Amino acid sequence: MINAGYQVLDILPINEGRYIIVKTVQENVMIVFKRDFFNSFGKMFRELGETGIGESINREDIKYALHKGVKRIFSVFPDGSVYTIGVDEFLINSHLWKNKQSREVYSISISHYERIFTL
């Protein structure tokens, strides 16, 4: 983040450290550390015209991020790929549903993200 010109003010871990909110001078961002892509996204949301793989974030974590003024999400995957999307675009293009644990989750096609680099 420092190499990208962000001046970090504070870091807040959430969701057992799987996400962090980084407060910066420029904007607040959420960094999401993922175990994998949502590989069955296209199958699950086929009737809504979706295809391919996706990404998911718990609704309560998105609400907290909005409360903290987060404007952008960065998702980091185990293969080292890093994707980004604006929070507004995420919310406009995602689908809200309940997972097996009855938690509300937003899921979105990875095609809405911009792949910015690979670590």
Write out the H or E segment, with its range, that includes residue 91.
Answer: helix 87-93
- Amino acid identity of 94? S
pTM passes above 0.95: no
| Phi and psi torsions of 61, nearest 5° | -75, -35
Q: Provide the percentage of residues in the chain whose pLDDT is more than 90.
A: 85
For the chain, what are the domain ranges?
Answer: 8-78+92-113
pLDDT tens profile 63-101: 999 999 999 999 999 999 999 999 999 999 999 999 999
pLDDT tens profile 13-65: 998 888 999 999 899 999 999 999 999 999 999 999 999 999 999 999 999 99
Kindly tell me if the per-residue pLDDT of 2 is higher than 60: no
Q: What's the CA gap between 1 and 53, in Å, rounded? A: 26
Can you give the pLDDT at residue 91? 98
As a three-state string, the secondary structure of 10-68 is: EEEEECCCCEEEEEECCCEEEEEECCCCECCHHHHCHHHCCCCCEEEEEHHHHHHHHHC
Q: Give me the sign of the Cα torsion angle 45, 68, 79, 115.
A: positive
